[in-house]
Each structure stands twice: as structure tokens, then as C-alpha cells.
Amino acid sequence: MSVARFFDEMSYGPAPESDAEARAWLARHVAGFGHFIGGQFVAPQNGGYFDTSDPAKDKPLARVAQGDAADIDAAVKAARAAQTGWAALPGHARARHLYALARAVQRHARLFAVVEALDNGKPIREARDIDVPLVARHFYHHAGWAQLQETEFADQMPVGVVGQIIPWNFPLLMLAWKVAPALALGNTVVLKPAEFTPLTALLFAEIAAAAGLPPGILNIVTGDGSTGAALVVHPGIDKIAFTGSTDVGRLIREQSAGSGKSLTLELGGKSPFIVFEDADIDAAIEGIVDGIWFNQGQVCCAGSRLLVQEGIAEPFLARLKDRMGKLRVGAPLDKSIDLGAIVAPVQLARIKELVAAGIADGADCYQPSLDLPQDGCFYPPTLLTGVETASRVAQEEIFGPVLVAMTFRTPDEAVMLANNSRFGLAASVWSETIGLALDIAPKLLAGVVWINGTNLFDAAVGFGGYRESGYGREGGREGAYEYLKPRAWAGRKQRKALPQPPQKETAAGTGLPSIDRTAKLFIAGKQVRPDGNYVRPVLAPDGRLLGEVGEGSRKDIRNAVAAARGADGWAKVSAHNRAQILYYLAENLSARTAEFADRIDAMTGCGAGEAQHEVEATINRLFSYGAWADKFEGSVHVPPIRGVALAMHEPIGVVGVACPDEAPLLSLISLVAPLIALGNRVVIVASERHPLSATDLYQIIETSDVPAGVINIVTGPRGELVKTLAQHDDVDALWVFATPEDATVAERLSIGNLKRIFTDYGFAIDWFDRAAAEGPIFLRQAVQVKNIWIPYGE
């Protein structure tokens, strides 16, 4: 064939990458890879090994240790022994270690890329040009946080020993996302890589030891799901960071309930790719190629749902099909291919099963005529059109190179279709009208939104989801906080239970009875009787009857949640106006200081002076959150692209709040004020022992311009009401500051919609201590961060 013919046809020949060095490294470990524990490779205690496979050839690649509970225990002990000394190092010393790791990754970049392509099946170009450079970037970036920790996170301390479980789609990059911030901020790590793809984690461990990382700081235990399960339940783990499927995330949430472990979940997605009529069509089609066929579609944030405006749908899909025909599927080490191999036969079978289900539901399937390799796990790029919104392929994560297409007419319809998913990880918006794109982005229920781009990542920009895509962030300042805990909360002691005293009988008299003041519930801006029409007594410490409150039930919680959901306009109220309402609440409370102080003294027996102090502290706290309302703002990240990323603070939505018995007025306001200051609506379960401080607030709320449904108060049996809130799928988060049992119930029963749980696990907080009970500790929990990527230039 002549050179001229190559230029005429623009056809590609093979461009194989040598795997000689990678094969030599594998040959040095032909006897099998052990676990990396305490700075060295050790044999599994049960003697078990398993084979990993090359998905492009479906042949064994390496022999790897099968970890069990004993191996996990040894790794946790090594990490615990090393953690105190590691955290005690100056930030500069830890930074030096992370810089060394970043440089080591760069020195061995080609080896990492080839091993990753062999182990995972992804194209060598993606591993070489995207994954490995981002790995180095994460270690460089977080070395900077280590250097600055003593000033930027002075009020925080390391979590401790962190268990990390990573998936098979980005084995090395996921390691960097998790290991870099954990080590930078003084934690030690036990990492469990995916069963299918453990090799680059083991290579990294070997190179990290050679780079001088001290023993015990990073430990790696390989194995299947049972190994990860042993890590989750180990009592020596202080935090679990998990990336993987939503189903496994639910299981981890359930198994870790009540353990006190911090938890970060980065789960599945079904991300919308929205194309408006005025979009640059050629650019959008290339964006789709990157959005769904990058890494064979095995990406949690893959743009797997194409929503295209009706006016351009027909020509757009025709041009997309033409582009699909030019994609090349082949051996991962061929530098000229676009799609490599699916990671394993079981995943390939799932993709085929879901596509068949989509066709059975009425979808039209288009697959270009491409030459697929005869061996290995390969699947062609696939487009499903004519898909109904309720179809399995429109709702379930396929995790393969399959794009589902639907149309819309108006921007509002685009938003409704985009949000018609239980997931909320990422979204992509394509329009040449920047005002339209920036109007749509905040309306999308997703943790990351790319404008005229897709699959953009950087260590400085947080990544994570809403709803069943999990909670917590990785990357940036917000991701750093996931590996820290408040210094002011150290040394707390378990909250003491306040038993109900026996009720004294009231002596009969001849005078007029007092006017009944039985407190009702407060729902949708009104005082309402409890559904069951039962009441419970409120007693003074000496047993005197102070009053009665409603006995709230499941139906009352349902009504309160519905009222809160209906008050979604509160999130659209300007921060300045929310601040004014908080100031108004403080003003009206101030006018009734003596009344509230008398009530607190009567309920708790704390004394007039202490009760007066509590009311004054409550007024002060309202003023503080009025001040914070328009100042706890997002930030602008400047990643290494031509553009910016806006880290926007958005309200979570409807939040349940279970209040403690101590400082009943101050603790309630300390929990509620940050939430409403930042645009959330609340359903409050008042102190079970001292609920009258909450019911006395009704008149303050009613006269302070608080819109109906923003604050709802239910009294009654706290444990039962917390259980109901945890099970309610229209509650977006739950704050539980009560007993350890309440915290356990909240975490275990929250798995239905994976709502965020914020709890003190029954450890009492000094509500008068502003460092422990006010400010960013609570404000960070009252928002979710959405990162909107905005490129600029031609």
C-alpha cells in the first residue's frame, strides 16, 4: 500500500505498545503477590491465592493473595502502630513524602500505564495520558495540603486509621484519590483493591516503599468481597471510604451502623448528557464519545443518558451514528484504538443482558459494523433510541459502552428528565448560550456538572454525588475534610440519660382550674393535634406536672415531611432574607427571655441564672447563623484547564433533626439554625425529656416571618420518631444528637435512599462552647457541594 493511499483513506494501522517491562515485573512475582503490610510483602495467613485475568485475552495474568479477617487484622494493627507517629510529623515532613510519591509515579509512568491496560483492559492511551498524570497530580496537590495543614485545618485532627475499598474501573486513579488525602492529613491506610484489578495497587506499594514511605503508613490487602467485608466491620477502623456499586454501598452503611466510623460513599450513576438546539453539534458529539465510550463506558459518571432537544434530534443522531462507525475496538495495548476490553466475562454478560432487556422494552438498537477481536471480553459501542423513561436501560446503571437516547422540547422538560433518576452523580450541559447553561446547572440534582465538556477531573475540584450516588466528596478542600474530625470534639463523654421521675399526684382544690395549655405539634405553620390524639406528661425533676405535649406518630412525621417538601421555595429565598428572618427570631425570643428562662428552669432544675444564660446563648447563636447565612459561600477552583470550576453550596433539602435533652432550647437552635440559614427545611423531633422549650417556640416562629413548612416540630417518643425519619425516603438527611441506640437505628435504616447521617453517637457536646457547637462544623453538614465546570475560549 502506498503512502498516498494512507493519506487518502486515513486508515489506522496497529501501533502496539511494548509490554516487555510489565511482563518482566510480573515474572518476578510469578510465585504470587502477597499482601503489603507493615512495609513489606507477606504471604496470606490462610495460604490462599487466586488468579487475575487479562480481559483482552481472557487468560491468567498474575497470582494474588486472598485476604481474610486475619490479614485485615494484621494490616489494621500495622496502620494503628504507625498512625500516631505519622500524624505527629510536621506537615512539611508528610508533604516531602507525598512529593516523593508523585515523582515516583512520574518516573514509572509508562510501567504503570501498561500494567493498568493489561489488568483492566482499558486503552493504553487513556491509562498513559489521563489516569497516570492525574495520579501524580493528586499526590502533588495533597502534598500541598499537608504543608498547609497546621494553618488551614488548625481546628481539625486526623480521623485515624482509614479503610479504603476501590473499584476495578480506575484502579490506580482511585487509589490516588483516596490514599493521597488520607496520608497528607495524618491518617494511615488499609486499602482493599478490586478483585479483578489489584496489580497497579501492588506495584504502587512496591514503588512507595522504594521511595521511602515509612512502614505501616500504607497497607494493601487483596482479595474478593469477603476481604472488603472484613475491613468494613473491623473495630480498629475509624473511617471507611468506598467507591463502587450502590448495592454494596447500602450494605456497608448497614454493617457499619452505630460503629462510629466515618463513611464516604461514591456510588453509581446514570448521568444525563443534555444537548440544546444551539449547541456546537460536532463538539457535543465528541463529548458523547468521551462521555460514554471512554473506558468502555465503565465509568460511574458516564454520560449514559443522552437528552437531545427535538429540533435537532434527527440530524444529531444521524451524525452520532456516523461517528460511532469510525470508532475502533481492539487490543488495549494498541495506541490507535478507542475502546478496549470489558473488565471480565461477568460484566460483559450483564451488559448484554441489559441491552436485550432494553430491546424487549421497545428500544431500537444501533451498533456500527466494527471488527471485534475474537478472543477476550469486547463489546461494540451501542446506541438505544426510542427508550421510555421507565425502561430498565433508562434507570439502571449499565456500566458499559451503551448510550440511551431520549428527546425533550423545553429546558424545563430537560431538567425533569435529567432528574428522573435515583442517582445524582454528574451531568453534562451543551449550549452556546452560557446564560441558559448556567441556569440549568443549579437545577440538576448532581454533584458535578460539566458545561460544554465531560469527564473533567482534577485534584483541586471535589467529586461526589447526591441521592443514591452517595455522599462525601473526593478532591479539593471539601475532600480534605472527609479525612479530618473536629478537634473540639475530642475527649467527649457519653451523654447521661435523664430518667423520668415518678409523677406526683396533684392535690384537689376548690379554686378554678388553670386554663389548659396542652402543647400541640407544629406542622406546615400551624399548631395541630397529633394524629393518634394521645398526649404525654412533661414533669419537673421533682415529678410535678408541668404540662402535656402531643404524642407524635408515623403519620405526624409523614405530614411534617410533606409540609417541609412543599416549602422548597425557602431554598430560593436570598441568603440576605434568610439572615433577616434569623435576626427576627432572635429579636422576638429576646422579648420573652424571662418566660423561656422560667420554663427551662422548671423543666431541668438548672437554676434561674443558668436558665437565663441558656436563653441569652440561644439568642446569640441565632445572630451568629444570621451572620453566616450570606457568608458561608462556595469557592472558585482553578484547575489546570482553560476554565474554572464553581464549588457551589446547595441546601440538602428536607432534614430530620433529633434533639438531645441537655440545654433543650440552646441545643435545638444550635442544630436547626445552620440548616435553615442555608436553605434547608427541617422536621424537628424535640427533646423527649424537656420538650416544652420546643413547643414554646411556636409563637416565636409564627411571628417571625418563617414561611409555613420550613420549621416543623413533632414531640413524642424520640426513638420511634427517629426510626420513622430514617425510613422515610423523602427525607434527604438526618441529624441525630441523642442516644447511641438512636444513632445506630438512624444509620441502619437510612439505606433506602442513602440519606446523609450526622450524629454525635451519644457523645455529649457542650452546647455553650462555640468551638464545639457553632460554625463550620455544622455548616459543612448543612450543604452539599456542587462543582460546575465552566471552560472558556474558542
Of 724, 764, 734, give the one whose Cα is nearest residue 658. 734
Distance CA 123, CA 114 (A): 9
What's the CA angle centered on 179, arms 174 and 181, to 5 degrees? 110
Cβ count within 10 A of residue 541: 13
Q: Tell me phi and psi for residue 59, to 5 degrees.
A: -130, 150
* 548 labelled catalytic: no
Q: Tell me phi and psi for residue 283, to 5 degrees.
A: -65, -40
CA-to-CA dists, residue 669 to 663, 701, 742, angstroms: 10, 12, 20
Distance CA 793, CA 774 (A): 43
Neighbouring-strand partners of residue 266 = 243, 470
- The residues, ordered by sequence, that sit 6+ positions from 171 with a Cβ below 8 Å of its Cβ are 116, 119, 120, 193, 194, 197, 198, 199, 200, 201
Assigned C-alpha cell, 419: 432528574
| Pair type for strands 156-158 and 526-528 | unpaired
Assigned C-alpha cell, 398: 449499565
What is the DSSP annotation of 247-279?
Answer: HHHHHHHHHTTTS--EEEEE-----EEEE-TTS
8-state DSSP, 331: -
What's the CA angle centered on 432, arms 430 and 435, to 5 degrees? 95
Neighbouring-strand partners of residue 219 = 190
Neighbouring-strand partners of residue 720 = none
Distance CA 114, CA 340 (A): 13
* 266 labelled catalytic: yes
> What is the torsion angle, in degrees rounded to the nearest 10, for the CA atoms of residue 319, residue 321, residue 322 and residue 328?
140
Neighbouring-strand partners of residue 37 = 40
8-state DSSP, 533: -
Distance CA 238, CA 235 (A): 8
- The residues, ordered by sequence, that sit 6+ positions from 746 with a Cβ below 8 Å of its Cβ are 658, 722, 725, 726, 734, 736, 757, 759
* Active-site residue, from 266, 397, 474, 478: 266
Q: Of how many residues is the chain composed?
A: 794
382-388, long-range: CB within 8 Å, 24+ apart, which pairs? 382/355, 383/317, 383/320, 383/321, 383/324, 384/355, 384/358, 384/359, 385/317, 386/362, 387/358, 387/361, 387/362, 387/363, 388/361, 388/362
* Active-site residue, from 206, 300, 397, 468: 300
Cβ count within 10 A of residue 103: 14
Distance CA 616, CA 600 (A): 12
| Pair type for strands 521-523 and 526-528 | antiparallel
Phi-psi sector, 68: left (phi>0), alpha (psi -120 to 50), beta: beta
3-class secondary structure per residue, 409-442? CCHHHHHHHHCCCCCCCEEEEECCCHHHHHHHHH
H-run or E-run covering 346: helix 345-360
| Pair type for strands 59-65 and 49-54 | antiparallel
29, burial (CB in 10 Å: exposed 0-12, middle 13-18, buried 19+): middle
Distance CA 194, CA 50 (A): 13
Show the DSSP H helices in 155-212 as ranges.
Answer: 171-184, 199-210
**Which residues are identified as catalytic?**
266, 300
